[in-house]
């Protein structure tokens, strides 16, 4: 499938975990601000799944719904074909490679991530530890490198407000250049 509109599609993701939406690393803030600055469409997979009830059961251990990946892909197929989409999710193995022009993996220092998640009532015990361990071991970055061409996968720091602004500037510049090169 080729994008019919000459606008890039981007994938933003962070610490891999087994539940939708790792909080505390700034993905939603970055994605929404990026959509405002570029005119691209922002899609949060956790919100999409909740709105469409795109679930396949419930995980008792982590106390969260289990995403039905096939339903999510089916739901997004037409929109992704049009291009110009920023996808916000915590993993990459369910998305077809053809959907994305670039993938940004945001990284947060594990001690900061621990502090951020610890302050949230639904992140305790094993769930909290698993999320932090995934960041320490670069699980999501390695997953991205396996799922997509290496040249489209980029890591960006996400520890401070200054990092956020630099990331926004860098991604906006990339988007503008991509549009210029492909129109």
Output the CA–CA distances (angstroms, integers) from residue 95 to 9, 67, 167, in the order listed. 12, 13, 23
Annotated binding site: 24, 26-29, 120
Angular region, 84: left φ>0, alpha ψ -120 to 50, beta rest = left
Nearest to 95 by CA among 6, 3, 10, 5: 10
- Short-list 133, 141, 40, 126, CA closest to 90: 141
Binding residues for ATP: 24, 26-29, 120
Dist CA 20 CA 102 (whole Å): 21
SS3 113: helix
């Amino acid at each position: 499938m080729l994008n019919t509109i000459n606008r890039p599609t981007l994938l933003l993701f962070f610490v891999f975990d087994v539940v939708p939406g790792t909080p505390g690393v700034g993905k939603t803030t970055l994605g929404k601000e990026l959509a405002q600055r570029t005119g691209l469409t922002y899609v949060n997979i956790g919100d999409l799944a909740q709105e469409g009830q795109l679930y396949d059961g419930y995980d008792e251990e982590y106390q969260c719904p289990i995403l039905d990946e096939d339903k999510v892909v089916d739901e997004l197929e037409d929109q992704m074909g049009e291009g110009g989409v920023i996808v916000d999710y915590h993993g990459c193995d369910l998305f077809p490679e053809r959907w994305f022009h670039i993938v940004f993996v945001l990284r947060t220092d594990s001690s900061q991530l621990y502090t951020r998640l610890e302050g949230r009532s639904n992140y305790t015990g094993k769930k909290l530890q698993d999320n932090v361990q995934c960041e320490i071991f670069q699980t999501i970055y390695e997953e991205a490198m396996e799922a997509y061409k290496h040249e489209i996968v980029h890591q960006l720091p996400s520890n401070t407000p200054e990092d956020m602004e630099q990331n926004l500037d860098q991604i906006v510049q990339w988007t503008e250049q991509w549009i210029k090169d492909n129109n």
